[in-house]
Structure 1
Amino acid sequence: MNELPKNVTELPLPLLLLIHLQILQYPAVNDDQFDIDLFDSHKRGLRARLKLMEDLGYWLVQKLEGRNVKKVLPIYPCIKPSEIIAFRTSFSRYLESLRQVSIKDNSISGVWWRDVQARKSLLEECSGERFLRLMVALSTHVLYKSQARSANIDDPSPALLYASRILDVQLAQRGWVDRAVRLLERETHLAAQRVQLTESSTVQKKPSKYASLSTTRLTALRDAKLEDTLNKEEWSSADARKALEFLRTLRGLGVVESGTRGDVAVMSRPHNRHLRPQLLPITAAHYPSHLRRLEKPILDLARTKLSELTRKDATNVAKPLKTSLPRADVIMQECLETEERAHNALQEALNPLKREKMILEQRSDKSRARRFRVHEKPSFWTNEYGLRLDFDVKHPFVTDANLSLVIRNEAREARERISRAVRVQDN
């Protein structure tokens, strides 16, 4: 970027400064004093302009330096005239160093610093085009730095936020539906017990010893029996008490506490990095159906789910169709679904590991085969004694000068051997 776009340079400098402050979310940017005449010497006094320059300068430097702002501008707020002079000196030095570094590094914000002079005299008047160019260059530099810093932060995308929010709402709705199913099942169980008690009262039977006791007395008796059971040695440990509470829950005498499933629920809930956000057209297509499902009343969903469970029981002949006790599968439905979701989450996390293991094993096999081929020694380069063959036909003591003499001597010896062999054969 060698020069600024014309549509940017044609904008008034105060307007550019206000736009930058609005984007950077300066706290007082919406006040009445922040208008196009921000640093106009004809409409605003010197003291007001100096105070505004100090506040804006300190805030912009703080956006750049963070906690180190006191090292750059140690005196703020300025009360005495000497403090104002010290602030302007420190501020002008910082602006000049920032200008030189930006131009030297050839950064994007360096274009705004080229025609800018970071002089202390500009900070004394706080007005004019040169001063406004200086403040616009500083705000632009802060804007680019903030944009680069926010780009490095792993902020979730809108698609990921939508997928995470949908999952949270669906899990919350599922939890409420499961609780409503248990309440409906308990209501059915109490109605069956009421009918059973009514029918038993009409039949002439021996009255129970607990029939004359009040509900308060029966509750106290139940708590006492439970306390006696827990005081026994076999139920004294924490695991034994959890097992007893689990049995009471299955029997319909207890309530499943949500805290007992906290670890499994956390495992079953996938993290944001494991979510798979869908494409925008797919998300928009599924949005109406998601909205209709989430708007359904909880009790209607619970009745539908309870009827599905009852239908499953009707197909299973091993289970009685009618019973006075609440079904364990209804009571523990939320636990079972939570465990199933945890299993699915672990399975989804295991599948990439398996694929990565297969890839690593294939790479290891290729590397092992390549290493074996490198260390393998061909047998045809050695003789029967295991010695390497020497392809140099020259004797180590034979030079090029006497090579022909050696060849003639060897040829004469060969002819003599042949002649002797012929004479021996003739005799």
Structure 2
Amino acid sequence: MDFIARATAIVGGTMVLLRRMSAPAAQAVGLTPTIPEAKKQGIMTLKMPTAKGWEPGHKPTAAQGLKVNAFASGLAHPRWIEVLPNGDVLVAEALQTERPPTSLMDRVMQATMKRAKAIGVSANRISLWRDPDGDGVAEVRKVFLEGQNQPFGMALVGDTFYVGNTDGIVAFPYEKGATKLTGPGRKLVDFKPGGHWTRSLIVSPDGTKIYAGVGSLSNIGDSGMEAEEGRAAIWELDLATEKARIFASGLRNAVGTAWEPVTGQLWTVVNERDGLGDETPPDYLTSVQDGGFYGWPYCYWGKTVDDRVEQDAELVARAITPDYALGGHTASLGLCWMPEGTLPGFGDGMVIGQHGSWNRSTLSGYKLIFVPFVDGRPSGAPRDILWGFLSEDEKVSYGRPVGVTIGPDGKSLLMADDVGDVIWRVTGA
């Protein structure tokens, strides 16, 4: 694998240099992005920095007026965060697992991802963290739940705790203040595992439903659309009837979800397809309509057809244009609503954890950003909250942002960093 990784770096570096010569100067970002014409790459750009982690005393850079500290450290690939009503902070620790490679490209991808700490042995647990003295650093660490199948999303409704494993949603009995789940889990919904394996969960404002993001198996339906059935979608689970349905589809990899309180609308961030260029198409933030279709794999950013895919004209005609572009291959994963007053100098808006690209000539993402909202809609350019996760020469990553949520005090953000193995806490300076 080391030889393959080195060979990949040499070939990938050559392709990156060639593509940088024609790379666009500006990212496709905002309400009306300029999206370059697609350029089929043939050999896909493959550029992923080596995972390094943080040296003692080294940490991300925070925007003016803010400061950052490690709330929790020493985790095993922390991906997602859930804050319980009593202030306990739960962290899903999971990782994409290795599988037997089926092609040379598979071998190349796995070697590259292993170097970037994006694939390996998954901890398959949820840990619990408490900060009894309120100093912004957790003093108590417990194993809340273990033996899961790549756990990611978490949700508490009454006395039931829900976990989004890669193969479905599981329910557990929960007692207030518990530091460990002891009852047996009950599977409510089956999902196809693997591929884009994360399964985010969010509860409806009235507590009657749970919404789950289920990503595609492949880039553009490479194994046929039968293999993609039930995927590239957001599912809705009715908690009273325990029946589930697809709420919205054509979303290649919808990960984080959040409720916008002015309109009551569900929003999500979506990772778009690869192989068409540095900025084509951009990842995006969008409101999610019941029954809405968002294009994948047939088209992107509305009705721009991807001619690599056998077409479905009826679905293309139905495709909804996303609300807000986030730039090509930023891998925008984390999402939460942040009300005005949470952090000094920031109004209402969405906070987005950008895990960072691996497939463009100049890397993108690798930061925590804020998109301002006015009257329930995105308004204005994004602002950086945290950055400095990537070395200036783009060769190593100190960290990679993933899940983000409001801290227990309502005056901070908590963000999972799955390369640094840290939960960062952002507050006013």
TM-score relative to the length of structure 1: 0.17
Q: Bigger relative contact order, structure 1 or 2, given CA contacts below 8 A and separation 6+?
A: 2
Instruction: Name the structure where helix makes up a greater proportion of residues.
Output: 1
Instruction: Name the structure where strand makes up a greater proportion of residues.
Output: 2
TM-score relative to the length of structure 2: 0.17
Larger Rg: 1
